[in-house]
Chain A
Amino acid sequence: MLKRFCQTAKLFKKGSGLTDFFSVLTFVLVIIVFYGIFKFTIGGSKFEIPQQSKSIEDSLSLLSILRTNVDVDNIEMNIAELVALSYSDPSKKSHLEKHIVKIIDDSFGASNCAIFCIGQNQIKGTGCILNVGYHTCSSDTMQIPSYDGKTIEVSLNSKIEPLNLQSAP
């Protein structure tokens, strides 16, 4: 079968000039048309890999932060418990901020801006002091339980780019 195909392919050189011309033209047209169809169908959705990766990295970091054990008034508890505790006991908020800022600075470096959000309340890393501008919480949130049976929404937004003042209008 393959041998026969090769023989025919060799004979192709001796084919009619007009048939060849129209065949090549059709070939090129088919490729262009299908390229257009595929491009049109796929081109609708945007997908940015760096953004997706960042979202996954932030979620993993958030889980690690929440699992980190800290010492609060000689009692060992993880950050998730401290968040729940400060939710019902506002006097624990200073402990929470102190520990979270330390963890963020250790994890992302004091020069990088990262924000830990509890609901819409932001706890900013040291790097955010240098990073002038309005910082937003990540939309990729996580639920943790509170002591009163409700859920608390937490999120992490790391590696916030410095505000580019030159490109601002």
Chain B
Amino acid sequence: MKKSSLFFMPLIVIILIIVLVNLYIVLLEKGSFTKPIGSRQFDLFKTYLEAEKALFFIDQSAKYSLQQSIYELAKDGGLSEVYASDVLTSRETPFIPIAKKCGKFYGYSLWYEKDAVCFDENKVKLNLELLFNERMNSYLDDYPINIWLDNYKYEIRDSIEIIGRAKEPLKLDILKDERKEAVKKPIEEKIITKEGITELKEFTGTELCAKGSKCGLTAEAYQKLEEAQKLAKEKGKSLEIYSAYRSEEEQTALWGGQTPERYRQRFPNEEERRKYVCNPNLGLGECPHMTGKAVDIRFKGKSNSDMTVDDWKELEKIMYTAGFRRYTAELWHYECCGTERYNRAVQLEKETGKEVRAIS
């Protein structure tokens, strides 16, 4: 009898054990035990349906938004009453409705006041677009899944037909149950700015990022933000970022009037436009959002116009303690971690020995 024949059968058994143990480990790592056979295929179907439902909701919302916007615009003599704090972030007059300068007379908007012309007929389409976008955002914000806000390029055609082209596609997670943790945790990405490569923490979809917004910050800024959130939670509040890192393309689109805010069309004069939006061609000092170290922030559950003076004061205190400095003209804009404005604030603190919570 050969020795090899003696060990053949035990060898087969050992190989079998190794194979089964390996199979078990692989299946366990893949999470196959938690999901029954066929469930992933159904998840795929369900995600498709979820997308169909969301698109249907968007279509219907657009119909109602357009009807409502036309009605409101007609009622208001072609003028749209948009609060600067929500759409046009006027640096001098943050809470004044900038579209109206002459006010109303017996409920009717004035187009002229003495010699002053208050209404530019050419801006009716822009006003309609602005109002329409505002209504759309309000609908989309109520939808259970995260649909990007301000995500459409609009084109208004002759017979008041509005065409919206999405800049970013609707993103739905097919295996959302399995990836719950991954969605909640910020993802690290590399961004390329004019200064070089910087680590960017993307925290879209987390508690800190407003629904419908995309949020990213440098690791250092994100750490400070987490600290601020901790302080806010101690006071029974929660923070919400609605604008953080902007790529050069995004800022250029904003400056160039390719976003629903239509800054370029509303303010053809560049000097005037710079009151509301920064010019990306003037560098990162001018546009701190492009550094990933600036945030537009408020308390969760409140819009900018809902925030009271006390709320803003409390927010400022929290953000200062966490290491941010505010831009004086905007109650919602904070910077940290070595931006030009932040450095000036810190320098001034050293020189005067006093707290500098906000700087121009």
Which residues of A does B touch, CB under 8 Å? 8-9, 11-12, 14-16, 19-20, 22-24, 26-27, 30-31, 34, 37-38, 41-42, 45-47, 49, 52, 55-56, 59-60, 63, 66-67, 80-81, 84, 142-145, 147, 149-151
Chain B hits for A145, CB < 8 A: 57, 60-61, 64, 139, 142
Asked whether B56 lies within 8 Å of A47 as measured between CB atoms, the reply is no
Chain B hits for A31, CB < 8 A: 16
Decide if B112 is an interface residue (CB 8 Å cutoff): no
Decide if B360 is an interface residue (CB 8 Å cutoff): no
Asked whether A38 lies within 8 Å of B138 as measured between CB atoms, the reply is no
CA distance A9 to B53 in the complex (A): 61
Of the listed stretches B41-49, B149-157, B343-351, name the one at the interface; the rest are far from the partner chain: B41-49
Question: What's the nearest-Cβ distance from chain B to residue A10, in Å?
Answer: 9
CA distance A151 to B52 in the complex (A): 17
CA distance A52 to B34 in the complex (A): 17
Decide if B267 is an interface residue (CB 8 Å cutoff): no
CA distance A30 to B10 in the complex (A): 12
**1/0 per position for B58-93, CB-CB distance to A under 8 A?**
001101100010000000000000000000000000
Chain A hits for B143, CB < 8 A: 143, 151
Closest B residue to A49 by beta carbon equals: B38
Q: Which of A15, A143, A147 contacts B144 (CB 8 A)?
A: A143
Chain B hits for A45, CB < 8 A: 34-36
Question: What's the nearest-Cβ distance from chain B to residue A117, in Å?
Answer: 15
CA distance A81 to B143 in the complex (A): 17
CA distance A149 to B69 in the complex (A): 12
Asked whether A12 lies within 8 Å of B5 as measured between CB atoms, the reply is yes
Asked whether A15 lies within 8 Å of B6 as measured between CB atoms, the reply is yes
- Total count of chain B residues near the partner, CB < 8 A: 42
In the A-B complex, the 3 residue pairs with the smallest Cβ-Cβ separation, listed nearest first, are A23-B9, A11-B5, A47-B36
Asked whether B13 lies within 8 Å of A42 as measured between CB atoms, the reply is no
Q: Which of B4-21 contact A (CB under 8 A)?
A: 4-10, 12-13, 16-17, 20
Decide if B108 is an interface residue (CB 8 Å cutoff): no
Asked whether A15 lies within 8 Å of B56 as measured between CB atoms, the reply is no
Given A11-B2, A27-B16, A59-B49, also A42-B9 (CB < 8 A): no
Asked whether B12 lies within 8 Å of A27 as measured between CB atoms, the reply is yes
Asked whether A37 lies within 8 Å of B64 as measured between CB atoms, the reply is no
Asked whether B5 lies within 8 Å of A144 as measured between CB atoms, the reply is no
CA distance A37 to B10 in the complex (A): 22
Given A26-B13, A151-B142, also A144-B20 (CB < 8 A): no
Asked whether B17 lies within 8 Å of A11 as measured between CB atoms, the reply is no
CA distance A155 to B42 in the complex (A): 19
Question: What's the nearest-Cβ distance from chain A to residue B65, in Å?
Answer: 9
Question: What's the nearest-Cβ distance from chain A to residue B283, in Å?
Answer: 41
Decide if B33 is an interface residue (CB 8 Å cutoff): yes
Asked whether A63 lies within 8 Å of B52 as measured between CB atoms, the reply is yes
28 contacts between A and B (CB under 8 A): A8-B5, A15-B5, A16-B1, A19-B6, A19-B9, A20-B9, A23-B9, A23-B13, A24-B9, A27-B12, A27-B13, A34-B20, A42-B33, A45-B36, A47-B39, A52-B42, A55-B46, A56-B49, A66-B56, A80-B56, A84-B60, A142-B53, A143-B53, A144-B57, A145-B57, A149-B142, A151-B142, A151-B143
Closest B residue to A56 by beta carbon equals: B45
Chain A hits for B61, CB < 8 A: 145
Question: What's the nearest-Cβ distance from chain B to residue A35, in Å?
Answer: 10
Asked whether A12 lies within 8 Å of B38 as measured between CB atoms, the reply is no
Asked whether A30 lies within 8 Å of B33 as measured between CB atoms, the reply is no
